[in-house]
Amino acid sequence: MKVIIGEASAKGLRIGIAISRFNDLFTRNLLAGALETLERHGANPDDISVVWVPGAFELPSVLRPMAVSKSYDALIALGVVIQGSTGHAGIINGQVAASIAQIAADTGVPVIDGVIGAQTTEQAMERSGGKQGNRGSSVAETAIEMANVLKKLSGGHL
Ligand code: INI
């Protein structure tokens, strides 16, 4: 039996992060969590790029060219969409998630969805460094594992 698992080391990995300025009180915490986790796992800060966009809806617009560039081993999307603040929060969330999945499928570059869909600001706070942890940190771990497992697959470990 062959079991293929992506290691947890970020050494040598090139990671791109797209982040939304909307709700930046929370998204900045997600970014801090993601950067701390990447660096704790051995990523070189020079190998990390951070691209800011106005809102979560704009994340796919930068993630696609980043993925197509083949300059990154994995991409991370960070945003916070709060239901209470808009009638179309659910639409934004669904659209962003579908676009992210499509970009990953089209390009073969893992794109990790770190967009929080919260009902309230309290929930957003809990998930961006509060009592439910920091989603930026957990999606950084996902990005590392996916980058490494895809490197193995493309290196012929099938
Ligand atoms: N963008 C977010 O990232 N989070 C939100 O909660 C949000 N709300 O509530 O409206 C939001 N809207 C802006 C949207 O992402 C776009 O920037 C805008 O619609 C322009 O395309």
pLDDT, tens digit, for every residue of 92-151?
Answer: 999 999 999 999 999 999 999 999 999 999 999 999 999 999 999 999 999 999 999 999
Q: Is residue 9 included in any domain, yes or no?
A: no
- Structure-block tokens of residue 142: 């996902």
Q: Is residue 88 included in any domain, yes or no?
A: yes
Q: Is residue 85 included in any domain, yes or no?
A: yes
Q: Is residue 139 included in any domain, yes or no?
A: yes
41 a catalytic residue: no
Q: Ligand 1 pocket: which residues have CB below 6 Å? A: 20, 22-23, 54-58, 79-82, 85-86, 89, 92
> In terms of DSSP bridges, do strands 48-53 and 15-20 run parallel, antiparallel, or are they unpaired?
parallel
Q: Is residue 71 included in any domain, yes or no?
A: yes
Probe target for ligand 1 pocket from 24, 27, 63, 81, with the most ligand atoms within 8 Å of CB: 81
Q: Is residue 155 included in any domain, yes or no?
A: no
CA of 76 to the centre of ligand 1 (A): 18
Q: How many CB atoms lie within 10 A of CB 34?
A: 28
Digit-coded pLDDT (tens) for 14-65: 999 999 999 999 999 999 999 999 999 999 999 999 999 999 999 999 999 9
> For position 129, which CATH number holds?
3.40.50.960
CA angle 92, 65, 61 (to 5 degrees): 20
Torsion sign (Cα): 46, 61, 28, 54: positive
Give the count of domains, the chain: 1
Choosing from 40, 88, 132, 153, the catalytic residue is 88
Structural domain harbouring 69? 15-150
Instruction: Please tell me the pTM assigned to this model.
Output: 0.96
Q: Is residue 128 included in any domain, yes or no?
A: yes
